[in-house]
């Protein structure tokens, strides 16, 4: 549901404004509304705060990865007490962490280059520079060469050379020339070694590695002992940014001596607001919203629906005169997800992941779900629903439970029924069930649309919408009663004719009652044409919408088939016995893990689409509201 809001307008003396704004921020319930001239550029103070925010957030992300903790669970440090000295120290730690990071980035390529130099020099050992310099003065110059063992054995006797080292593949040797007279036909690769000696390179490498280790240890110490202070600093910067942005949203009046501020607060916070205002020297006016107001939206649902508010907000907040779709999205998304997964074993794994996320340990697992952070309760719920639906459909890690139920038992009969055709048809029971669930979903959407439009525009303006509801929903109900045997064929035919006749009047003649009242003749000519156009749209659109729900069955079938395929491959490998059993286990584990991930992606995206497209379109939901963002 959407919380009721009230609008509050303040007039504050400019010298009291900063204190008033801090007190209002501490209250934490007022959503500041844009007012006045908003064409002014952001002040330098706000731009600097935003830069600091970016720096602090980047550092916190680095420290979080080093410490392996979840920031939401880190207790705030001394900077959280609004201590200027503590905040300054926290900012110094941020800058120091950035310096360490930049230095490490520069050291890494330096270490790589030194390691390459050391690797090139090690086969040659420690070269005596004094001896080489003496040779150079005498006109003798050395050449460092490498050749394969076989080539060296067959060619070396022909050349003057000195073997320095060899391994299983290569021989490292020297050749010499006098005054540049070198034999260019030597079949060996010539090397250019670094100018430094091996000892010099290794000493320098050890120094750089030691420097890197010290910097990493310093950064790890900051992550272990000061992440709370830096997190508190981030919150202080957020508060300062919020105050600066609130200042931009206000306007000045009376020669800049009075600050005018407008905002919204939930009605249930009215007592707290009045208590706050009683201690402030500010003039204020409080009123209920009017139709032209852009009221911020705060959703308030029960514990189950609240888990799925994030899905509604992904599409867009409802407007203040709309209804919150979350109570419909929550159960149907859960059901759709469970059907698409369709495997009780996968549901247990999803439940386990949800439990780890709620306990704050999911990020330490190999499968890191950054996007699922804070969604542990929803993930657990989806896993539980998947487990129940999987058991109902008779699938457990790709195994068909009908094969394990005792022959002739009620459970075996049930699974055969679920896996067979829908009664009285040649269609799969699961496919027909998916379509029936889709029909129910769309019927609810049409009913919600009619109720919402009636609330907005009145019953007279929505007779055409109600006529469509009577025709479609009434037809579905009558058809269902006929299928279960409650209505006879004759009674069903007469009821359908009656519903069609009444609906036709609303669809073709009362679809625009205003036009009919203004000009009956014009209404009798135009309304039927408008009704025909609407009939075409409804017929083509609803048919496609209903068929969209077949994807629930298709995804369930695909996931089950892929899981079963991995089981069969694993069984064939395991049949060989011995070491092959290890390979079979790997096939089972990797195959089902891959299938789980692929199925989970599909089971999230497609149910989301069925809600965002099919349901929202047919329920008239627009989602153009503004989220409630209080200054706090």
Could you tell me the residue ranges of all domains in the chain? Answer: 39-118+203-248, 127-196, 303-427+558-619, 445-548
Mean pLDDT value across residues 562-585: 88
H or E, element range at 142: strand 140-148
0.85 surpassed by pTM: no
Q: How confident is the model at residue 565 (pLDDT cuts 50, 70, 90)?
A: very high
351 to 378, 422, 494, 517, 564: CA distances (angstroms)? 10, 31, 50, 59, 22
Q: Is the pLDDT of residue 472 over 70?
A: yes
Within its chain, how far is the Cα of 85 from the centroid? 37
Mean pLDDT value across residues 450-463: 82
β-bridge partners, 299: 2
How far is 319 from 292, CA to CA, in rounded Å? 12
Neighbours of 45 (CB within 10 A): 12
Within its chain, how far is the Cα of 149 from the centroid? 58
For the chain, the helix, strand and coil percentages under 3-state DSSP, each to the nearest 5: 65, 10, 20
How far is 146 from 121, CA to CA, in rounded Å? 12
Higher pLDDT, residue 33 or 323:
323
Q: Is the pLDDT of residue 214 over 90?
A: yes
Q: Is the pLDDT of residue 333 over 80?
A: yes
Q: Burial, 277: exposed, middle or buried (Cβ in 10 Å; 0-12, 13-18, 19+)?
A: middle
In this prediction, what percent of the chain has a pLDDT beyond 90? 19
What pLDDT does residue 254 have?
46
What pLDDT does residue 151 have?
76
Q: Is the pLDDT of residue 265 over 80?
A: yes
What pLDDT does residue 207 have?
92
| Best CATH choice for the domain 39-118+203-248 from the list 1.20.5, 1.20.1460, 3.40.50, 1.10.3470 | 1.20.1460
Q: How confident is the model at residue 462 (pLDDT cuts 50, 70, 90)?
A: confident
Q: Which of 255, 247, 257, 260 is nearest to 11 (CA)?
A: 260
β-bridge partners, 236: none
What pLDDT does residue 471 have?
84
How far is 263 from 270, CA to CA, in rounded Å? 13
How far is 71 from 232, CA to CA, in rounded Å? 11
Q: How confident is the model at residue 368 (pLDDT cuts 50, 70, 90)?
A: very low
What pLDDT does residue 620 have?
86
What pLDDT does residue 466 have?
84
Q: How confident is the model at residue 351 (pLDDT cuts 50, 70, 90)?
A: very high
Q: Is the pLDDT of residue 152 over 90?
A: no
Higher pLDDT, residue 460 or 159:
460
Q: Is 466 left (phi over 0), alpha (psi -120 to 50) or beta?
A: alpha
Give 119's contacts (C-beta < 8 A, 6+ positions apart): none
Which of 148-162, 282-296, 356-370 is least confident?
Answer: 356-370
What pLDDT does residue 69 have?
61
What pLDDT does residue 491 have?
86
* Two tokens, residue 51: 């830069």
Q: How confident is the model at residue 594 (pLDDT cuts 50, 70, 90)?
A: very high
Higher pLDDT, residue 177 or 307:
307
Mean pLDDT value across residues 272-301: 84
Give 277's contacts (C-beta < 8 A, 6+ positions apart): 284
Which of 145-149, 329-333, 356-360, 596-600 is least confident?
Answer: 356-360
Q: Is the pLDDT of residue 264 over 90?
A: no
Q: Is the pLDDT of residue 83 over 70?
A: no
Given the structure tokens 């907040």, which residue do they identify? 317
How far is 285 from 73, CA to CA, in rounded Å? 40
* pLDDT tens per residue across span 172-198: 888 777 766 655 667 777 788 887 888
Higher pLDDT, residue 352 or 532:
352
H or E, element range at 56: helix 44-67
Q: Is the pLDDT of residue 596 over 60?
A: yes
Mean pLDDT value across residues 356-370: 61
* pLDDT tens per residue across span 476-496: 888 888 877 788 888 888 888
3-state secondary structure of 611: helix
Q: Is the pLDDT of residue 144 over 70?
A: yes
Most confident of 79-93, 172-186, 219-233, 353-367: 219-233
Q: Is the pLDDT of residue 562 over 70?
A: yes
Q: How confident is the model at residue 366 (pLDDT cuts 50, 70, 90)?
A: very low
135 to 172, 182, 524: CA distances (angstroms)? 20, 15, 114
The answer to whether the beta carbons of residues 550 and 435 sit under 8 Å apart is yes
What pLDDT does residue 86 have?
75
* Mean pLDDT taken over the chain: 82
Which of 184-193, 219-228, 245-254, 431-440 is least confident?
Answer: 245-254
The answer to whether the beta carbons of residues 567 and 628 sit under 8 Å apart is no
DSSP assignments along 162-191, one per residue: EEEEE-SSEEEEEEEEETTB--TT--SEEE
The answer to whether the beta carbons of residues 522 and 515 sit under 8 Å apart is yes
Higher pLDDT, residue 536 or 179:
536
């Amino acid at each position: 549901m959407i919380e009721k809001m009230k609008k509050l307008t303040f007039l504050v003396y400019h010298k009291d404004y900063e204190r008033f704004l801090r007190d209002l921020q501490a209250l934490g319930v007022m959503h500041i509304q844009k007012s006045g001239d908003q064409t002014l550029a952001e002040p330098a103070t706000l731009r600097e705060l935003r830069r600091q925010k970016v720096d602090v957030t980047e550092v916190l992300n680095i420290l979080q990865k080093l410490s392996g903790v979840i920031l939401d669970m880190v207790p705030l440090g001394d900077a959280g007490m609004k201590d200027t000295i503590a905040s300054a120290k926290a900012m110094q730690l941020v800058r120091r962490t950035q310096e360490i990071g930049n230095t490490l980035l520069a050291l890494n390529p330096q270490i790589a280059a030194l390691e390459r130099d050391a690797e090139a020099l090690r086969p040659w050992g420690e070269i005596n520079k004094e001896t080489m310099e003496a040779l150079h003065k005498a006109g003798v110059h050395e050449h460092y060469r490498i050749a394969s063992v076989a080539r060296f054995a067959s060619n070396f006797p022909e050349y003057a050379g000195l073997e320095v080292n060899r391994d299983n593949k290569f021989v490292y040797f020297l050749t010499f020339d006098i005054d540049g007279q070198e034999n260019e036909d030597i079949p060996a690769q010539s090397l250019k070694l670094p100018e430094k000696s091996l000892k010099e390179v290794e000493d320098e490498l050890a120094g750089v590695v030691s420097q890197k280790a010290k910097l990493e240890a310093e950064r790890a110490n900051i992550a272990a002992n000061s992440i709370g202070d830096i997190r508190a600093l981030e919150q202080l910067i957020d508060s300062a940014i919020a105050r600066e942005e609130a200042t931009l949203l206000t306007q000045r009046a009376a020669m800049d001596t009075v600050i005018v501020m407008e905002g919204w607060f939930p009605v249930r916070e009215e007592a707290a607001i009045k208590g706050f205002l009683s201690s402030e020297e500010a003039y204020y006016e409080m009123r209920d919203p009017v139709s032209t107001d852009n009221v911020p939206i705060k959703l308030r649902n029960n514990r189950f629906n609240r888990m799925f508010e994030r899905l509604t907000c992904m599409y867009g907040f409802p407007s203040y005169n709309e209804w919150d779709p979350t109570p419909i999205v929550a159960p149907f998304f859960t059901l759709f997800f469970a059907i698409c997964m369709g495997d009780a074993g996968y549901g247990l794994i999803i439940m386990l992941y949800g439990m780890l996320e709620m306990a704050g340990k999911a990020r330490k697992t190999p499968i890191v779900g950054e996007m699922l952070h804070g969604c542990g309760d929803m993930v657990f719920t989806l896993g539980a629903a998947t487990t129940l639906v999987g058991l109902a459909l008779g699938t457990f890690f790709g195994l068909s439970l009908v094969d394990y139920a005792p022959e002739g038992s009620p459970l075996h009969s049930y699974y055969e029924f679920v896996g067979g055709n829908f009664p009285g048809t040649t269609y799969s029971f699961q496919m027909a069930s998916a379509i029936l669930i889709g029909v129910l979903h769309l019927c609810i959407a049409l009913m919600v649309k009619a109720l919402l439009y009636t609330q907005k525009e009145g019953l007279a303006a929505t007779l055409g919408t109600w006529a469509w509801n009577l025709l479609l929903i009434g037809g579905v109900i009558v058809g269902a009663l006929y299928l279960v045997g409650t209505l006879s064929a004759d009674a069903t035919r007469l009821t359908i004719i009656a519903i069609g006749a009444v609906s036709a009047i609303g669809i073709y003649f009362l679809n625009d009652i205003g036009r009919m009242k203004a000009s009956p003749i014009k209404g009798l000519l135009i309304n039927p044409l408008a009704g025909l156009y609407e009939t075409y749209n409804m017929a083509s659109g609803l048919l496609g919408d209903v068929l969209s729900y077949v994807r629930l069955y298709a995804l369930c079938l695909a996931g089950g088939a892929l899981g079963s395929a991995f089981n069969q491959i694993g069984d064939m490998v395991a049949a060989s016995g011995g070491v092959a059993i290890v390979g079979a286990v790997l096939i089972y584990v990797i195959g089902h893990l891959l299938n789980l991930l692929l199925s989970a992606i599909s089971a999230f995206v497609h149910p989301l689409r069925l809600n965002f497209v099919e349901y929202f379109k047919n329920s008239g939901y627009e989602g153009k509201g503004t989220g409630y963002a209080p200054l706090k």
